[in-house]
Structure formats: C-alpha cells, structure tokens
Amino acid sequence: MPANKSVKTALSLIENDNSKILGLTVGKHNVKPGQFIPKADAQSPPELSFNVPSTSGIYMVVGLDIDAPFPSFGVLGPILHWIQPGLKPTPSDHGPAVLKATAPFVANYIGPAPPPGSAPHRYIFFLYEQPARFDGKKYAPPGGKNLDNWHRMRYDLGAWEKEIGLGPVLASNYFQSN
C-alpha cells in the first residue's frame, strides 16, 4: 500500500495520544476513532476541529479509503477521498478550533462507497500544517471540476507529502462505513 507509512503513523498517533485525534463530525456523528458511520450519513465533507498549534496557521486535510476495494484485497487502495487546503482555524469558546475551508479543493470530497458485499472500509483523515508556499491551483483540476476516479486509485500519500513539502501529521481520525 503506497500510503502505508503515513497510515501507520496516523493510527499510532490516535492509539497513543488522545490530543492527536482530529475532531471529525460526519453528518450528525461526532466520530470516535473507528466508529461505524452509515454511508448515507457520510456523503458530505466532514466538519473538522483541532487544538491547532497556531490559530494564525493554515492547514490541510487529506482523506483516504485504506481498504479498497475489499479490506482483504486492497489492490486499488488506498483511494483518495479528499484534499482540502486552506483550512483556517476559528477559535471556539467550548473546545478546539473549528477548521473552515478558505480555498478551493485539490480533490473534491467523495463519500464512502464500498462495493456490495464488502466488509466496512476505514476512511482516515490526516491533518497537516499547510506549507507556506503551497499553491492549490497548481494541483486542482482545471475549472473547479471534480477529480476523476483514475487519479484517486492507489493514491501515494507519501509522494504527495514529499512533493509539496508537508511536515508531520498533526492529527488524524477515522471511521468505518459500508
């Protein structure tokens, strides 16, 4: 799996440090790591929150299905489900800052869609500090179009991290769905 190192790092963050769990609200669900979310409830982009290191910083989220097409046969995975740069934190009176998008997507969000008969897939979200010189227009599909499926399959998160100079994963979270 091309994203194996980043996935292992993110899952380790979640397991070993509760402060590194990305706030993820999917539909009406405040996601606990590994929680099952019906796919009908997860067709819109999640709302994100986190105790970011700097409220003046800009952040980016990447979402992957790490179990495609089947958890026991991941030949197409991971599949890219979302790249949203330009996340600016809005301080909250009662918890972590809410991260709101201020820039167009690089890869539009697509909700869960495992094939019929599949066990639930894991949809994992990685939060990064966005590099200062990042230009999303360089990577986004022209004209604000949605990213095609061909560019989503066997997504190499490690190559993306290296290409744009992403630092370490700040936080992550995941849900399961089928």
Q: Which domains does the chain have, with CATH numbers?
A: 4-177 (3.90.280.10)
Distance CA 58, CA 100 (A): 10
Strand, helix or coil for residue 84: strand
pLDDT, one tens digit per residue, over 44-59 is 999 999 998 777 899 9
Residue 1 has pLDDT above 50, yes or no: no
pTM of the model: 0.94
The lowest-confidence range among 7-16, 83-92, 163-172 is 7-16
**DSSP tag of 69:** S
pLDDT, one tens digit per residue, over 145-173 is 999 988 999 999 999 999 999 999 999 99
User: Strand 171-177 vs strand 35-36: parallel, antiparallel, or unpaired?
Assistant: parallel
Report residue 3's pLDDT band, with 50, 70 and 90 as the boundaries. Answer: low
Sequence-ordered alpha helix ranges (H) in 94-176: 157-164
E strands along 15-94, which residues?
23-26, 29-30, 35-36, 47-50, 59-65, 79-92
Residue corresponding to tokens 């963050």: 13
